Chains A and B, each alone.
Chain A
C-alpha cells in the first residue's frame, strides 16, 4: 500500500491504479506472463496476486495471442479483463484478437456484446534491452477503428488514465513508457479519480511555438521547452495522451496562439502519428499556420539494438532543431 501524498513513480502509479480497480470492481481480473508471484518483469503488478489472490491475478501460459484472445471471451461475458504483454515488441502475435475481435465485437453484434478490455504493454526504447524490447508501434493500433490507444507520461496521468481505461466500456491499448517508469516521482492520491480519455493535456503554456509529444518523449520535449525559454521563446507543450481518438481541438487551440508546431515521437516517421497530426492540422487550421508542421521522430529504420538507441531517439537537440526550423519559417512570415 502506498501512503497518500508520498511521491511515487509511474510504474508504482500503474500498480496503484490496478490495485484500486481490483479492490473496487469484482469483475476486474489481471493476467499475463510472470505477473503473479514475480509481480511482472517491471514490477507493475507487484504484490497484487498476494493481495487479491490467484483467482483474480493470474499467470498465464506463454502465448501472447492466447492472452489477447481469452480477454475477448472474458469481456464478452461481463468481466473486465486487464491483460499484460511483457513488451510491446511481443504483441504482434496478438494482433488478430485485438484488431479482428476486441475492436470489432460491439459493432459486429450491433451492441449485443462488447469488449471492455485493457491491453497493457511496456513500450518504447531507452532501457538498453535486447532486440524486440524497444518498439514504439502505436500507429499500427491507432489506425484500427474501435480501439483506443492511450499513453501516459507522468505518474498522475498513468493512474488517472489507467483507471479511465479500465472503466471504459470498450477496448483500450494502454502503452506504458518504460524509459520513464522510474524517471520521476510525484504524489498521486489513491482516490480512484480517473482522468478523461480523448482529451489532450497542456503540460506547459507558451505563446511562440507548440510542441506535441507523448510518452517518454515528453521528458525531452519539456527539456527543450525550458532551453527555448532561456532564449526568450515560450513553447506550449501538449501531450495528447489518448492518441486515438485524437483531441485535435486542443492542438488547434494552441495553434491559434503559436501558429507553428513540432510533433515529436520515438516511432518511425513514415505513417507515424506525426503524419496524422500534421494532416489534421492542415485540414482544420491551414490558415493559422506560419510554418510547415515539423516532425522530430525516430528514423525509418529498424529500431536499433541498444548501442545505437540514443542515436535513434529524438533527443533535446533534435527537438530544438525542429523548433528552430518551425520558428524560422514563422518569423519570416511575420516580417
Chain B
C-alpha cells in the first residue's frame, strides 16, 4: 500500500534575468526603453546616489548627521525602481533607497534632514503620496498592500486608471510575518502591488544563508500564489525591465508580483555598524568586482556613450548639486520645540494644552536665560 510521505516540494522554476554581465557586456539585446538617454540618466542618478551616501557618511563621521544607512553597491536597484514608477504611483520604501528617493523627487536636503533628526525630512515636497522611510522591518509591505487596496478601490469607484504601489525591503525582511502576510493578501485580493526585495546578502551581520532555508527569496511568492522573478540587482537594465513588467501587469489588473534583486551591500549596515566584525575583506573585494556603477560605466564606454570628458562634466555638475543641497539643508531654520505637539493630532486635544504651554514656557525661559 502506498503511504504518503512528507515531501519538500521543490519542483519549481525561478527565472533569472540579466542584460549586462559582471563585466558590463550585453548578454542579450537591451529592451527598447534602455535608450542612450535613459542609460545616461540612470548612470547620473546612480552616481548622485553614491555621492549623497558618501557625503552623508562623512557628515555622520564629523558629528553633523545621525546614524545613516548608505546604499553603496545597490544604486542600480534604487534608481531602476524609482524610475519605473509613474508620478501617481505610490512608493512604500524601506530605508536603504537613496537612488529611489532621488528618482521620486525626494530632495537631498530632505534626506539629510531626516537622518539629521528632523521629521520635516519625511514631508516629501515632490512625492506627496509616497509613504515615509520605514524603519521597522517589513511593516511597509503591509502598508503597500493597503495603499494598493486604496488605489484599486479608487479605480473601481471612480474609473480612474489603476495605479500601482511598489514596496522595497531587504532580504532579512522576508523572514517576517508582515512580508508573507502582505504577499498573501495581495495574492488573494489581486492587489496592484509590486514587492521588490533588495537581496544584498546581509541583514546587519546575518548572512543570507542563515536567514532562510529556501534556495531563493523569490520562491516565497509561490506560497502566496503570486509570480516572481530573480534579477541581477547590479544590472540597472534588468531591474528596470523586471519592475516595469511587474508594474504593467499590476496596472492591467493582473495583480501583484515579487522581484528578488540580487546585489551586495558594499558598506556597513549603517554608520553605527562595523561589517569587518562579521565578513571578510576578500568577500567584499570580490563583490566590488560586480558592483553596478562600474558595470554600467564599462557598457556605456564600450558603446561609445561615455568618456573621461563626460565624466569630468558630470562630476562637476553633481558636486554643485550636492553643495546646493547642503546649503539648503544647513540654512533651514530649526523647528520650534513645540512642533512635537503640532502634528500629533490634526488638532491638539485640550488635555495636552498644559504640556504644550509648559514646553513653550521652558523654551522661552531657556532663550532668555
Interface residues, chain A, CB within 8 Å of chain B? Answer: 26, 29, 55, 60-61, 63, 65-66, 69-79, 81, 93, 96-97, 100-101, 105-114, 145-146, 148, 169-170, 198, 245-249
Give the top 5 A-B pairs by smallest Cβ distance, nearest first: A73-B146, A69-B142, A245-B351, A70-B146, A77-B150
- Whether B345 lies near A65 (C-beta < 8 A) is no
Contact of A248 among B136, B177, B351 (CB under 8 A): B351
Residues of A contacting B274 with CB < 8 Å? none
Q: How far is the CB of B129 from chain A (nearest CB, A)?
A: 6
Contact of A69 among B122, B129, B146, B349 (CB under 8 A): B146
Max chain B C-beta neighbours (<10 A), residue from A69, A75, A78: A69
Residues of B contacting A76 with CB < 8 Å? 129, 131, 143, 146-147, 150
Q: Known pairs A65-B177, A76-B131, A77-B151. 18 more at Cβ < 8 A?
A: A29-B153, A61-B181, A61-B188, A66-B145, A69-B139, A69-B146, A70-B143, A70-B149, A73-B145, A75-B146, A77-B146, A79-B149, A101-B136, A106-B346, A107-B340, A110-B119, A111-B123, A170-B345
User: How far is B351's CA from A249's CA once the two chains are assembled, in angstroms?
Assistant: 9
- Whether A101 lies near B143 (C-beta < 8 A) is yes
- Whether B122 lies near A112 (C-beta < 8 A) is yes
Assess whether B185 is interfacial by the CB under 8 Å rule. Answer: yes
User: How far is B352's CA from A246's CA once the two chains are assembled, in angstroms?
Assistant: 10
Assess whether B148 is interfacial by the CB under 8 Å rule. Answer: yes
- Whether B352 lies near A245 (C-beta < 8 A) is yes
Q: A66-B181, A110-B343, A112-B128 are in contact. Are A73 and B148 (CB under 8 A)?
A: yes
Residues of A contacting B184 with CB < 8 Å? 61, 63, 66
- Whether A69 lies near B346 (C-beta < 8 A) is no
Max chain B C-beta neighbours (<10 A), residue from A76, A78, A248: A76
User: How far is B150's CA from A97's CA once the two chains are assembled, in angstroms?
Assistant: 17
Q: How far is the CB of A66 from chain B (nearest CB, A)?
A: 4
User: How far is B342's CA from A111's CA once the two chains are assembled, in angstroms?
Assistant: 9
Q: How far is the CB of B334 from chain A (nearest CB, A)?
A: 13
Q: Digit string of B75-106 for contact with A (CB within 8 Å is 1, else 0)?
A: 00000000000000010100000000000000
User: How far is B146's CA from A73's CA once the two chains are assembled, in angstroms?
Assistant: 4
Interface residues, chain B, CB within 8 Å of chain A? Answer: 90, 92, 119-120, 122-124, 128-129, 131-132, 136, 139, 142-151, 153-154, 156-157, 165, 177-178, 181-182, 184-185, 188, 339-340, 342-347, 349-352
- Whether A74 lies near B131 (C-beta < 8 A) is no
> Who on chain A is nearest to B340 by CB?
A107
- Whether A72 lies near B143 (C-beta < 8 A) is yes
Residues of A contacting B151 with CB < 8 Å? 77
18 residue pairs bridging A and B, Cβ less than 8 Å apart: A63-B184, A65-B142, A65-B178, A66-B178, A66-B182, A69-B143, A69-B146, A73-B146, A73-B165, A74-B149, A75-B146, A77-B151, A110-B120, A110-B123, A111-B342, A169-B346, A245-B350, A246-B351
Residues of A contacting B181 with CB < 8 Å? 61, 63, 65-66, 69
User: How far is B184's CA from A180's CA once the two chains are assembled, in angstroms?
Assistant: 36
Contact of B349 among A73, A114, A245 (CB under 8 A): A245
Residues of A contacting B124 with CB < 8 Å? 109, 112
Q: How far is the CB of A280 from chain B (nearest CB, A)?
A: 9
Q: How far is the CB of B237 from chain A (nearest CB, A)?
A: 30
Q: How far is the CB of B345 from chain A (nearest CB, A)?
A: 5
User: How far is B92's CA from A245's CA once the two chains are assembled, in angstroms?
Assistant: 31
Residues of A contacting B142 with CB < 8 Å? 65-66, 69-70, 72-73, 97
Q: A55-B156, A246-B351 are in contact. Are A79 and B344 (CB under 8 A)?
A: no
Q: How far is the CB of B236 from chain A (nearest CB, A)?
A: 28
Residues of A contacting B122 with CB < 8 Å? 108-110, 112
- Whether A74 lies near B345 (C-beta < 8 A) is no
User: How far is B181's CA from A61's CA once the two chains are assembled, in angstroms?
Assistant: 9
User: How far is B90's CA from A63's CA once the two chains are assembled, in angstroms?
Assistant: 24
Residues of B contacting A73 with CB < 8 Å? 92, 131, 142-150, 165
User: How far is B340's CA from A107's CA once the two chains are assembled, in angstroms?
Assistant: 8
- Whether A106 lies near B136 (C-beta < 8 A) is no
> Who on chain A is nearest to B120 by CB?
A110
User: How far is B339's CA from A106's CA once the two chains are assembled, in angstroms?
Assistant: 12
Q: A70-B142, A110-B120 are in contact. Are A100 and B149 (CB under 8 A)?
A: no
- Whether A74 lies near B150 (C-beta < 8 A) is yes
User: How far is B123's CA from A105's CA once the two chains are assembled, in angstroms?
Assistant: 11
Residues of B contacting A107 with CB < 8 Å? 119, 340, 343-344
- Whether A69 lies near B178 (C-beta < 8 A) is yes
Q: How far is the CB of B173 from chain A (nearest CB, A)?
A: 13
Residues of B contacting A70 with CB < 8 Å? 142-143, 145-146, 149, 185
Residues of B contacting A60 with CB < 8 Å? 185
